[in-house]
Homo-oligomer: A and B are copies of this chain.
């Protein structure tokens, strides 16, 4: 009968610690200090930090983007990139995601969870966009899905996560135009 309000407070503190210290630098004691709770409250809920962060990933919609279906490739691309940019503008996401992508390369339960919960849904979304474009004859039938995925996701992530740049509407619109052009010859 753990108190839900306390659970939420702890998870909020954990997210902030994750953003500040990174996953490897995250400690259970750091979370207790930030949340102002006792250690027992944490260990009654999770066996350790991996458990805790996995719960955050499973519950968070931070990284999920709905597959668009606007009727045109350019519309779909615009909606996808706009949603992605909106998510990547959040200061916590901007700090946390480079770290998660780094953890994703490791053979741990957390790495596996990130691949399944963060990356796979993103890929599904892109597949749908491409399939719709092919059925509308906006893309060739033998289009390379992986290449399309890299074109759609790569530039914005590079821009916002690696270079930690901003992306206003004007920039996203330019990106949409250019990437749509590229997808059509994909």
Contacts and interface: CB of A to CB of B under 8 A. Distances in A.
Interface of A: 22, 24-25, 94-95, 98-99, 101-102, 104-106, 119, 144, 146-147, 149-151, 153-159, 161-165, 171, 174-175, 177-179, 181-182, 185-186
Given A24-B24, A185-B178, A147 B162 contact: no
A127 B153 CA distance: 22
A138 B60 CA distance: 45
A40 to B, nearest CB: 27
- Cβ-closest 6 pairs across A and B: A154-B158, A24-B24, A154-B154, A154-B155, A182-B182, A150-B155
Nearest to A158: B154
B159 A154 contact: yes
A101 B157 CA distance: 12
A165 B146 contact: yes
Contacts of A151: 155, 178, 182
Contacts of A161: 101
